[in-house]
Structure 1
Amino acid sequence: MRDLILAMVKPLVDYPDHVEVETEEGASTITYKLSVHSEDMGKVIGKQGRVAKSIRTVVYAAAGSKQQKKIFLEIVE
C-alpha cells in the first residue's frame, strides 16, 4: 500500500525526494501518514481537497478488500 501511495503522489509534487509515508498499525486500524515538502502541500491537497479525496478513494478501494482493518490516510506537515 505504501508503494501505491508513493506512486500516486510523487508525480504530483516538485520535491519527490521529500515524500514519505509512515505506517501506524493498531488493533483494528492501519494509518498511513503522508508527509511532503511544505511547498507541495497545496498540490497534494488540491482545490477544495479534491486531489486528497481522490488519493484516499484509491487507497481505500485497493486496501478494503485485502485488509480486515480500517484504513486511514492522513496528510501531515
Structure 2
Amino acid sequence: MKELVEYIAKSIVDYPDDVIVNEVEGNKSMVLELKVNPEDMGKVIGKQGRIAKAIRTVVSAAAIRENKRVLVEIIQ
C-alpha cells in the first residue's frame, strides 16, 4: 500500500523527491501518512478534495484484497 500511495503522489507533484509516506500498522487497519512539499499540497488535495478522495478510493480498493482497512492522511 505504501508503494502505491508513493507512486501516485510522485506522479502528481512537481517535487517528487519530497514525497514521504509513513506507515502505521494495526491489527486490521493501517494509516498511511502522506507528506509532500508545501507547494505541492494543492495538487495532492485537488479542487474540493477530489484528488485526495480519488487516492483514498484507489488505496481502499487495493486494501480490500488484503482484508485490511487503510486510511490515507495528508500531512503538512
TM-score bin (small chain): over 0.9
Gapped regions of structure 1 (runs ≥ 5): none
Distance between the aligned counterparts of 2:38 and 2:45, measured in 1?
Answer: 12
TM-score scaled by length of structure 1: 0.91
Partner of 1:57: 57
Give 1:3-22 correspondences, 5 Å limit: 3-22=3-22
Aligned-residue offset at 1:26: 2.0
Partner of 2:72: 73
In structure 2, what residue type is equivalent to 1:27? Answer: N
Deviations 1:14-35 (A, max 9, x none): 1100001000112332100000
In structure 1, what residue type is equivalent to 2:28? Answer: S
Distance between the aligned counterparts of 1:55 and 1:13, measured in 2?
Answer: 13
Partner SS for 1:62: helix
TM-score scaled by length of structure 2: 0.93
Gapped regions of structure 2 (runs ≥ 5): none
Deviating above 2 A after TM superposition, structure 1's stretches of 4 or more consecutive aligned residues are: none
Equivalent residue pairs, number: 76
What percentage of residue pairs aligned between the two structures are identical?
A: 51
